[in-house]
Amino acid sequence: MSFFSKFKGGSPSVDYLVVGLGNPGDMYRRTRHNCGFRAVDFIASRLPEAPNFRKKFSALTCECRLGGAKVVLLKPQTFMNSSGEAVSAARRFYKLPPERVLVISDDAALPLGRIRVRTSGSDGGQKGLRSIMLHLGTDAVPRIKIGIARPDMEGYDMASYVLGAFDEDEEKTLEKVLPYVADAVEKLAGGASFETLMSEYNGLQL
Pairing of strands 143-147, 101-107: parallel
Residue 111 DSSP symbol: P
Query: What residues are paired with 104 via a beta bridge?
Result: 20, 144
Number of domains present in the structure of the chain = 1
Classify 35 as helix, strand or coil.
Answer: helix
Mean pLDDT of the chain: 92
- Residue 206 domain-assigned? no
pTM for the model stands at 0.92
Calculate mean pLDDT across residues 78-99. 95
Residue 10: the pLDDT is: 45
- Residue 176 domain-assigned? yes
Residue 36 confidence (pLDDT) above 60: yes
Domain enclosing residue 125, as ranges: 4-201
Q: What percent of the chain has pLDDT over 90?
A: 85
- Residue 18 domain-assigned? yes
CATH number for 39: 3.40.50.1470
- Residue 88 domain-assigned? yes
Pairing of strands 69-76, 16-20: parallel
- Residue 42 domain-assigned? yes
Give catalytic residue positions. Answer: 33
Residue 16: the pLDDT is: 85
Q: Nearest 5°: CA angle at 205, between 124 and 184?
A: 75
